[in-house]
Structures are given as structure tokens and as C-alpha cells.
């Protein structure tokens, strides 16, 4: 269980740690501070961003987006030791768009579609920075209880469908805390590619707050494609991890423009459209490299000379993507399927 506080007394550490077994906390202010008396000095200076870029203080609710993950020390009753918990919190508030800081459930004046929009808006706002999404609500007399059962069912059904479509990963807060502390206390310091093998070097400890190893992930970007999650087993004292058979999706040249030419015509620029092109992709004409310009991940152009077009027949066009010496973007050589361009006889 992970408690969420807005008024955490600064004498509770021993009871939370020993009696209740808490290791993680979600909080937006220092312990011992009353929410309504909060000042700028009472805001936690926690990593990764608020330590360096704490936004202006204009509301106890924190009007600016929050993402923090860091140690959080709380004192205990007299004669008992303080404890260092791990705090993690994400929050987005937009009171110009919604009338509540938490999930605004439907009611007689608020349609279910507005609540669904709020879920989607908050989720995308955090996902865009690769932050986890933590959304809370209140069951009090002015929110959840005012919604009807059919309205609640519509929200849950539609939001669940949307999250599934977007490939969300649902986790319990305790598990999220384990992952967050493991990621925060371990660091990727090196990534190298040798042939088809990716070697990752880590320092620190990928463990829970109690020291149990917990698996994490890194994102591997192959060319300009979506990042592919690579599972990393938990470790203590650093680790070297090797992954074999790292391959990028083969370039696919799905279209050629022009698709046919007249034999003997002057040189031309051939446009190739497809997917998975990278900056070092090379167009090959009958297996031979041709001067290539990278336009985007879906388009290349190639200079085809007059001698290439001198003979009647069919030329094979492929795209070759070489692998660089190393780095975090791992690219192995790949060849596209062959495409043919016809050189036709000139009509008399």
C-alpha cells in the first residue's frame, strides 16, 4: 500500500515504517506542513526536475505539472529514529479546462464525456514526457457520489478501452514504487554495439526500498522506429548486461517514382517511399550504390545517371541501411525487398 498525504505529521515515520510497513509516499509538500498554510519554502525540492526547476508558487494545489521521484525523510515520535521513504508523485492540474483538481466524475451537469476527456488529457500530458500517470479522486459528497451507476460504468468502460488501445500498462502503486526506486538508484552509464550484440553498463542498485532486486527496462530505438523495451534483471553493485540479435526493422521501399522510364533518357532523380529509412540508408540500383538523399523515415531520393538508363530492361532497386560503430541507437545492416523499375524502348 502507498499512502497519499496532504497533511503528513512530522512525527509519524516509525509508525508508518515499522507498524504499517510503508516504504513509499506520494506527497506534494514537506512533512509537518498544513496544506492551507503552505508557502513556497514548504514545497519539496526533489528530483528529477523540481530540484532544479521549481515553478512559481501560486497555489497550494501546485498549478504546474509535477513529476518527482526522490528520497523523502520523515521524523518520528521522541526517542524513535527518523526514516527515509521514497516519494514519487505525478500531477497535472488545468482548472481552465476542468473544475476540479482530481477526477471530476459525471453528475447532473457534467456529462460522462468530460470525465473521459479528463482521463485522456491527463494521461497524454504525462506520457509525453515518459512519466508514469497517477490519477486520484475523492468519494465525498460533491464528486463520485453524485454520479449515477450508468455514468460510472460508461467512464470505466470507455476509459479502459482507450487505455487498452494505447497499450497502457496497469500496475499497483506498490509495484510502481518498487520500479521507480530501482530506476532512480541505478544508472545506465554506457551502451555499445558490437556486431549484433548490445552491451549495457549500469552502476548502483536496481532494488526495492528493502533491497530486493527488481527488474527494470530501457528503451532501444532502432532507426526512427518506436522504442523497444529491453528487460533488465534487478542487480546490486552495478551490472553489465548483453543482448544478442539486436536487429532493426528492414527498410521497406513500397513505392518508386517514376515507376518506369524510357531507355536512353537523361539522368533523373528517383523518389523512394516506404518505412524505416535512416540517415545512412543507401539506394542501390542493380546492387550498386547510388548517391542518396535522406528526406525522412518514409522517403529517400537517389540520383540515377544516364548510363543507368541506357539499356532496355528491368532494374532492381533496393534500400540498404548500414550499422554504425556503436551508440544507443542500434542499427544493423538491413535490406529492403527488391523493387523493379522498367527501362522501356523509346517509341518512334
- pLDDT at position 179 is 92
End-to-end CA distance of the chain: 84
Angle between helix 112-127 and helix 149-165 axes, rounded to 10 deg: 30
- pLDDT at position 161 is 93
Task: Measure the CA angle with vertex 226, ends 189 and 68; round to 5°.
Answer: 55
Report the 10 Å Cβ neighbour count for 66.
Answer: 21
For β-strands 197-204 and 186-194, DSSP reports them as antiparallel
Region for residue 239 given its phi and psi (left: phi exceeds 0; alpha: psi -120 to 50; beta: otherwise)? beta
Q: How far apart, in Å, are the Cα atoms of 37 and each of 43, 60, 63, 175, 259?
A: 12, 8, 16, 33, 72
Please tell me the class of the 252-344 domain. Answer: mainly beta
- pLDDT at position 83 is 97
Please list the pLDDT of the chain residue by residue as tens digits (348 residues).
899 888 899 999 999 999 999 999 998 899 999 999 999 999 988 888 888 888 898 888 888 888 889 999 999 999 999 999 999 988 888 888 888 878 899 999 999 999 999 999 888 888 777 778 888 887 777 899 999 999 999 999 999 999 888 878 788 999 999 999 999 999 999 988 776 788 999 999 999 999 999 999 888 876 666 677 788 999 999 999 998 766 555 555 568 888 888 888 889 999 988 877 878 788 888 888 999 999 988 889 999 999 988 888 888 888 887 654 222 232 333 334 445 566 665 554
- pLDDT at position 252 is 56
- pLDDT at position 39 is 93
- pLDDT at position 245 is 62
- pLDDT at position 171 is 85
Q: Where are the domains of the chain?
A: 13-165, 186-243, 252-344
What DSSP letter does each residue of 123-173 carry, written as one string?
A: HHHHHTTT---------STTTGGGS-HHHHHHHHHHHHHHHHHTT-----H
With 0.75 as the threshold, say if the pTM is over it: no
Distance between CA 24 and CA 84 in Å, rounded? Answer: 9
Amino acid at each position: 500500500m502507498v499512502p497519499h498525504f496532504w497533511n503528513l505529521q512530522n512525527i509519524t515515520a516509525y509508525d508508518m515504517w515499522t507498524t504499517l510497513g510503508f516504504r513509499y509516499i506520494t506527497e506534494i509538500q514537506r512533512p509537518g506542513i498544513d496544506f492551507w498554510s503552505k508557502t513556497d519554502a514548504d514545497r519539496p525540492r526533489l528530483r528529477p526536475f523540481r530540484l532544479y526547476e521549481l515553478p512559481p508558487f501560486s497555489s497550494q494545489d501546485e498549478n504546474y505539472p509535477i513529476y518527482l521521484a526522490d528520497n523523502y525523510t520523515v521524523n518520528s515520535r521522541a526517542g524513535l529514529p527518523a526514516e527515509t521513504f521514497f516519494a514519487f508523485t505525478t500531477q497535472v492540474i488545468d482548472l481552465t479546462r476542468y473544475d476540479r483538481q482530481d477526477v471530476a466524475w459525471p453528475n447532473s451537469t457534467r456529462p460522462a464525456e468530460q470525465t473521459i476527456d479528463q482521463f485522456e488529457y491527463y494521461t497524454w500530458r504525462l506520457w509525453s514526457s515518459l512519466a508514469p500517470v497517477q490519477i486520484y479522486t475523492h468519494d465525498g459528497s460533491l464528486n463520485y457520489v453524485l454520479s449515477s451507476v450508468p455514468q460510472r460504468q460508461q467512464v470505466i468502460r470507455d476509459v479502459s478501452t482507450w487505455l487498452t488501445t494505447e497499450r497502457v500498462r496497469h500496475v499497483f502503486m506498490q509495484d510502481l514504487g518498487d520500479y521507480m526506486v530501482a530506476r532512480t538508484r541505478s544508472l545506465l552509464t554506457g551502451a555499445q554495439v558490437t556486431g549484433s550484440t548490445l552491451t549495457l553498463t549500469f552502476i548502483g542498485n536496481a532494488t526495492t526500498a528493502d533491497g530486493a532486486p527488481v527488474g527494470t527496462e530501457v528503451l532501444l530505438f532502432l532507426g526512427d522506429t518506436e522504442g523497444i523495451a529491453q528487460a533488465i534483471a534487478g542487480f546490486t553493485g552495478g551490472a553489465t548486461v548483453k543482448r544478442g540479435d539486436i536487429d532493426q526493422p528492414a527498410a521497406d521501399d513500397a513505392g518508386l517514382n517514376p515507376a518506369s522510364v524510357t531507355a536512353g533518357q537523361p539522368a533523373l532523380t528517383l523518389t523512394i517511399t516506404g518505412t524505416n529509412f535512416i540517415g545512412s540508408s543507401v539506394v542501390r540500383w542493380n546492387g550498386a550504390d547510388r548517391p542518396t538523399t535522406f528526406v525522412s523515415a518514409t522517403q529517400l531520393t537517389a540520383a540515377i545517371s544516364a548510363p543507368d538508363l541506357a539499356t532496355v530492361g528491368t532494374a532492381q532497386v533496393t534500400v540498404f541501411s548500414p550499422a554504425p560503430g556503436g551508440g544507443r541507437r542500434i542499427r544493423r545492416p538491413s535490406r529492403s525487398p527488391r523493387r523493379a523499375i522498367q527501362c522501356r524502348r523509346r517509341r518512334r
